[in-house]
Chains A and B, each alone.
Chain A
Amino acid sequence: MADYGLKVSSGVNVLQAQEKDIFFASNRNLLKTHRVGLSTAAQSFAHGLSYIPIFFTSVQSTDNTGTIIGNDRNTSCDIDNFNIGATTKYYLFYQAGS
């Protein structure tokens, strides 16, 4: 097992920190952003990945509110395309979601 790498914690000794107190550890994968945008109309576009990526969306309303992640019934993704509803902020990540 590798005994080298990079760890960052705050307020506690990084060698004694619990997992939840470590901000970054080089043996823990991070979500890496592939594409970010605000869709102002329903649309589909090719995401350019050969797998179904993890994605986050927030549907924006005219009353200046946004839904939480996981509460978007209009957006879906397949191996080729990202299909998104109107006025939706989206994040696509390089990690596979399936």
Chain B
Amino acid sequence: MTKDYGIKVVATGKLITSDEPREYIINSEFGSVKIIQEPPNQAYQVVTVGDSATVTVTIPHKLGFIPLCMVFTELKSGTGRWYNGIPLEGFEDQTTTIYMSDAYADKDNLYLTYVNTGSSVDVKYYYYILGDAGS
């Protein structure tokens, strides 16, 4: 049975009867991803990765399933260059000694691991945990 209820908002200049999904701002027929968790106060977080240290940041999400997660990192403080995903060794430049070695989620937490082969560095990160099961 065709749904004859729901919410539709069409983009300016497009018809509300359109069959083209891209012409809608929102259409409850298609659903969307939902952001369940961001850092406190929607502010980037900072972790200090000491001299020749490896630090794993653990972010509890309490969802009970493996969620889809999106992570952004500024490896070199103050550069304004943020990487999406896992910025591996050499991403920033060949002289930067900080990188991310792993990032994954389980049903309880999101884990981000940073490795520093040089002197102490402050790393900024931001994350989005989506309210959709990754399994």
Same complex: yes
Contact across chains for A33 and B135 when beta carbons are under 8 A apart: no
| B3: interface (CB < 8 Å) | no
A29 to B21, CA, bound (A): 11
Supplied contacts A32-B27, A34-B30, A66-B67, 7 more A-B pairs, CB within 8 Å: A33-B30, A33-B31, A58-B68, A66-B105, A66-B134, A66-B135, A91-B68
Min Cβ gap A39→B in Å is: 12
Contact across chains for A69 and B135 when beta carbons are under 8 A apart: no
| B12: interface (CB < 8 Å) | yes
Contact across chains for A58 and B134 when beta carbons are under 8 A apart: yes
Per-residue contact bits, chain B 80-110, to A (CB 8 Å; 1 contact, 0 not): 0000111000000000000000011111001
Smallest CB gap from B107: residue in A: A64
Min Cβ gap B81→A in Å is: 16
- With contacts A68-B69, A69-B70 known, is A27 near B32, CB below 8 A? no
Interface size on B (CB < 8 Å)? 34
B residues with a Cβ closer than 8 A to A are: 9, 11-12, 21-22, 24-27, 30-33, 42, 66-71, 84-86, 103-107, 110, 130, 132-135
- Indicate the size class of the contact surface on chain A: 20 to 34
Contact across chains for B25 and A94 when beta carbons are under 8 A apart: no
- With contacts A27-B25, A68-B105 known, is A60 near B33, CB below 8 A? no
